[in-house]
Amino acid sequence: MSITKKNAEIKAENIVRRVLEEKNYLSKVLKGILAKEDSVRYPNAIALEILSKENPKIIYPEWNFFVNLLKSKNAYHKSIVISTISNLTIIDEKNRFEEIFEDFFSLIDDKSVIVSRKLAIYAGRIATAKLSLKSKITAVLLSIDDTQHSPSRKDLIKGDIIESFSEYFEDIKDKKTIIEFVKKQLDSSSPSTVKKAKEFLLKWEK
Helical axes 75-88 vs 96-105, angle rounded to 10° = 150
pLDDT confidence band for 1 (50 / 70 / 90): low
User: At the top level of CATH, which class does the domain 55-204 belong to?
Assistant: mainly alpha
Please give the pLDDT value at position 206: 75
Any idea where the domains of the chain sit in the sequence?
Answer: 55-204
Report the pLDDT value the prediction gives residue 74, as an integer from 0 to 100: 95
Residue type, 18: R
Contacts of 135 (CB under 8 A, 6+ apart): 173
Return d(Cα 125, Cα 113) in angstroms, integer. Answer: 19
What's the whole-model pTM score?
A: 0.94
Q: Is the pLDDT of residue 40 over 70?
A: yes
Check if the beta carbon of residue 164 is closer than 8 Å to that of residue 123: yes
Q: What confidence category does residue 63 fall into, taking pLDDT thresholds of 50, 70 and 90?
A: very high
Count the neighbouring beta carbons within 10 Å of the beta carbon of residue 95. Answer: 11
pLDDT band at 23 (very low <50, low <70, confident <90, very high): confident
The pLDDT tens digits of the residues spanning 134-190 come to 999 999 999 999 999 999 999 999 999 999 999 999 999 899 999 999 999 999 999
